[in-house]
Amino acid sequence: DTAVSQTPKYLVTQMGNDKSIKCEQNLGHDTMYWYKQDSKKFLKIMFSYNNKELIINETVPNRFSPKSPDKAHLNLHINSLELGDSAVYFCASSQIDRGFWDGYTFGSGTRLTVV
């Protein structure tokens, strides 16, 4: 199946731990994103990579570090987890061509719960 896939789907962890979320897309897209969705469903962009290069880095604590080993993967590592990090994290991808852009394809999300 062509898709954006995220793992894990659910992640429950204690405060202070370090965790990673992985994202892979097999759509051949050149740009990938991480969004955070809070409990009120509000979506906020965190990072964007184009061909492995960081192009968007919103105001996010530096405990969050994205890593893109190749243009098909964008992982999110979070250090020293805090209660406020509990949210659903969505990965997305898109293909940005001159004169054409068709929005994002989203992964199904990772629900992170920090206890």
* Number of Cβ within a 10 Å radius of residue 86: 17
Our finding on whether 1 is near other proteins (CB under 8 A) is no
Q: Which of 68, 94, 112, 114 binds other proteins (CB under 8 A)?
A: 94
- 3-class secondary structure per residue, 45-62: EEEEEECCEEEEECCCCC
Give the bridge partners for 105, in sequence order.
93
Residues in the chain: 115
Least separation, in Å, of the C-beta of 92 and other proteins? 8
Residue found under tokens 């068709």 = 102
Residues 2-21 that bind other proteins (CB under 8 A): 4
Site string for other proteins, 39-78 (x = CB under 8 A): -xxxx-x--x------xx----------------------
Our finding on whether 101 is near other proteins (CB under 8 A) is yes
Contact status, residue 114 vs residue 82, Cβ threshold 8 Å: yes
Positions touching other proteins (CB under 8 A) are 4, 31, 33, 40-43, 45, 48, 55-56, 90, 92, 94, 96, 101-109
